[in-house]
Amino acid sequence: MRKLLTPVIGLITLMCVTSCNQNEEAELTNETDAITVEQELQNQKRNCATDKALEDALLKDPSLKQRMDLIEQETRKFIEKQSSLPLAQREQVFTIPVVVHILHRNNAENLSNNLINSQIQVLNRDFNANNVELRNNRERVPRVFRNRVANIGVRFVLDRVIRVRTNRVFNSNPDGSLNQNMKFRNRGGSNPINTREFLNIWVCQTDALGFASFPGQNRRIDGVVVDTEAFGVTRNGAYGLGRTTTHEVGHYFNLRHVWGNRGGCGDDDLVGDTPNTNGPNYGCPAFPTRNCGSADMTMNYMDYTDDACMFMFTNGQRTRMRAVFNGFRSQLPM
């Protein structure tokens, strides 16, 4: 559990040994070593590195901006014509084959098939509005958002699991760029299987909870990365219900964070029915949390709240995601 968004502040203890003579100089001892795992957990916050991945990719490949703008135009066209599509097309369920790469340094990190299957089950529940939080007439969803809850109509099928023993962790590079080595066999990772036709998910030790590639990015590294501790249903801590993967697959299907890419009330996620907000919410906020003049949808999978407190996509997000199956990810559904 090393995923710290905010650095742990070292405890500085003022030590006064034997008699506290006023002339005696106070001894400052940096007790960094004494920081316990519990303290780290208290400081732990969701940190998704997808926006960082995009920033890196735009620096490396200036033509990406143009490609993504084009995808955005196609998305807008799809949204405009969506309501006039035949019902069968509007309700079509897309089946997505998934390849899971398990990069492990030891047996504990070599996650079991049961755990991997629990993650696929979470994806299938979350993307089909079949998750437990939406039962009982969606009573956990604030009334104002209830009719925005969407069944995306995407089914995930585990195609194969690739297990690779490694001696690496895949933390960010010293220059601050994201480490993508988990996607290369010759760098301690695992090569993707045909990224046009398979959703590749790499599970490994990283310093982010996860990150994904937006549609348009380099096909060689296209897919989703999830930290070993945040994958599958372990019920451990704030990220033990598999929602990190739901969130990252949302990005992979072209969803932004609910606050947009940069944050601030002026930035937007390009979705009409998610309220405008200025940045992430953490933990499990009581409704309502108000920013930018309206109540935030903190229970949206594309916020930064705890797994137990994010449980819906919206109709606008649904249309946006389904648009990619008519464009950049058209070869993905089986």
- Minimum distance from CB of 2 to Zn ion (Å)? 19
| Residue the block writes with tokens 């309700």 | 91
Instruction: Collapse the DSSP code of 99 into the 3-class scheme (helix H, G, I; strand E, B; otherwise coil) and give the result.
Output: strand
Name the segment binding Zn ion (CB under 5 A); options: 27-35, 50-58, 161-169, 198-206. 50-58
Interaction residues for Zn ion, span 192-251 (CB under 5 A)? none
Q: Which of 292, 299, 230, 295 is nearest to 267 (CA)?
A: 292
Contact between 116 and Zn ion by CB under 5 A: the answer reads no
At residue 321's C-alpha, the angle toward residues 317 and 327, to 5°, is 145
Q: Which of 47, 50, 254, 277 binds Zn ion (CB under 5 A)?
A: 50
- Helices assigned H by DSSP within the chain: 37-43, 50-60, 63-82, 87-91, 113-126, 135-138, 243-252, 315-323
Q: Which of 25, 27, 91, 248 is catalytic?
A: 248
Contact between 48 and Zn ion by CB under 5 A: the answer reads yes
- Minimum distance from CB of 48 to Zn ion (Å)? 3
Site string for Zn ion, 118-157 (x = CB under 5 A): ----------------------------------------
Give, in order, the Cα–Cα distances in Å from 243 to each of 50, 129, 186.
15, 13, 30
Name the segment binding Zn ion (CB under 5 A); options: 42-50, 188-196, 279-287, 314-322. 42-50
Ranges of beta strands (E only) in 138-217 are: 154-165, 199-204, 210-212
Q: Closest CB to Zn ion among 47 and 166?
A: 47
Catalytic residue status for 248: yes
Q: Closest CB to Zn ion among 166 and 257?
A: 257
Q: Closest CB to Zn ion among 57 and 188?
A: 57
Q: Closest CB to Zn ion among 188 and 301?
A: 301
Q: Report the residue number whose CB is nearest to Zn ion.
A: 48
HSE, side-chain direction, 13 A CA sphere, residue 279? 4
**Contact status, residue 96 vs residue 274, Cβ threshold 8 Å:** no
- Minimum distance from CB of 165 to Zn ion (Å)? 29
- Minimum distance from CB of 136 to Zn ion (Å)? 28
- Minimum distance from CB of 5 to Zn ion (Å)? 12
Instruction: Collapse the DSSP code of 161 into the 3-class scheme (helix H, G, I; strand E, B; otherwise coil) and give the result.
Output: strand
Name the segment binding Zn ion (CB under 5 A); options: 43-51, 52-60, 89-97, 144-152. 43-51
Phi, psi of 236 (to 5 degrees): -95, 125
Q: Closest CB to Zn ion among 50 and 131?
A: 50
Q: Which of 203, 205, 245, 199 is nearest to 219 (CA)?
A: 199
Task: List active site positions.
Answer: 248
Positions that interact with Zn ion (CB under 5 A): 48, 50
